[in-house]
Structures are given as C-alpha cells and as structure tokens.
Amino acid sequence: MEQKKLGIIGGLGPMASAQFLELLTDMTAAENDQQHIEAILYSRPNTPDRTAFLLGESSDSPLAMLRDTAATLETLGCSVLAIPCMTAYSFYEPLSRERSAKIIHPIIESARVLKKAGKKRVGIMATDGTRRVGLFQNALKAEGIEPVLPDAFIQKEIMRLIYEDVKSGKPANLERFHAAAHHLRANGAESVILGCTELSVIKHRQEIGKGFLDAMEVLAVRAIEACGYAVKDGVTLL
C-alpha cells in the first residue's frame, strides 16, 4: 500500500495533540526512524472553543479556522487528516465535503470497534458539546449499541476533569474520574468510551484501570492504517 503523509489539525487542546503524536509513535510498527509516519502537526490553540460554540455560549465558530488548517495541510501534501479533538467532529460534514484528503472519523470507528467486541451498552464520557450534538450516541445506535449517558451532576464532573484539570495543565482528580465511570457502569455500561482527547491524556498519564475504549487511540490506529503503515503487534484497543 502506498504510504501517505498525515496532517494533524492540532492544538485543540495542545496537550491532547502532544499525546496523539506519542500514540502514533508508540503504535507504529517501526524498527528505525525512517519507518515512522511522515506527519505534519499544525497546532492552532487559538481555534475557537468547540463546546462553547455548540452550546450557544459563544458566537465564534471554529469552522473557518478548521477549514483553513485543513486546506493548509492539504497544500503541504497531506492526503490523510486527523483531528485529536472529538468535539471538532461536529464539523466533520462540511470539512469532508470540501477536502479531497481523507478525514479519519474516530467516533464512527470507535462504535465499530465496540460492535466487533460484542458490546451492547456503552457509557460515554465526553464534553457537553459532543453530547449535545449526539456524536457518540448516533454512532453507537448505528451499530446497534445502546448509549449510556451520565446524569447532569456527573456530566458537570466530567467537564471539570476536562477543563479544570487537563486543559489547565493539572493532574486529573482520579476520585472524580472513577466516580463518573462507576456511575456509568452502575447504569449498565459494559465499557466506557473516553470520548474526549483530554480524557485520553488522563489515561496515559495516570493509572485508571481497564474497561475503557480510548477514542484517541482508535484515531491513532486508523490513521496509521490509512497512511499505509503497520500497527505494532500487541496493540489492543479494548
């Protein structure tokens, strides 16, 4: 398979983009520098907040900057694009219509991984914006999986983990994290999706245990495959 250059629409947020690059490196089957993916990270942390716009708390849409970033990466020869920000996939349709590059969709791919694993009910930890748009709910339902959503209090705790902890450069409050996961499992979730890239950062910086599907890991694996490279033996998503 022809090897392709990967473009990363990054900075949404910066720590998640750094984590994504680390995942790409860790998960690629490579014995030397030359066997790794050629990738360009365009980090644009000044991109307007996706959740604030989707909730109507800001009139500043991120779409124009996402379009500009994607177009720039294509100009630089990237034929596969990845966005290490799940909420940004609320704008997937207009972006994919306008670009010739393949945009990896980790939310749809995550639902397929869960279906293949035989999961019937899956909990969702994600931003308010991702939840409002129904990104994970719709993808799971399309695969015959019932989504399990946190109640209003737990959803606020998840947002605190994302914004007050990871985006603020602090270690996550693991008591809060595990309370959210326990709440979802108590309501019938067989697995829990880490549906925000900041939650992926928690997984890779702190010990959270098993039973989670990390949507950013799914993004990394599918990006490696789409660019014509091999995934390292032993890499598992669930």
Catalytic residues, by residue number, are: 85, 196
93: phi then psi, degrees, rounded to nearest 5: -60, -55
Residues 232 and 164: their CA atoms lie apart, in Å, by 34
Q: Which of 198, 201, 221, 200 is nearest to 212 (CA)?
A: 200
Neighbours of 210 (CB within 10 A): 6
Residues 208 and 173: their CA atoms lie apart, in Å, by 11
Residues 18, 23, 29: CA angle, nearest 5 degrees: 140
Q: Which of 36, 37, 34, 43 is nearest to 6 (CA)?
A: 37
Structure tokens at 172: 């996550």
Placement of tokens 């983990």 in the chain: 161
206: phi then psi, degrees, rounded to nearest 5: -135, 155
On the CB side of 65, CA atoms within 13 Å amount to 18
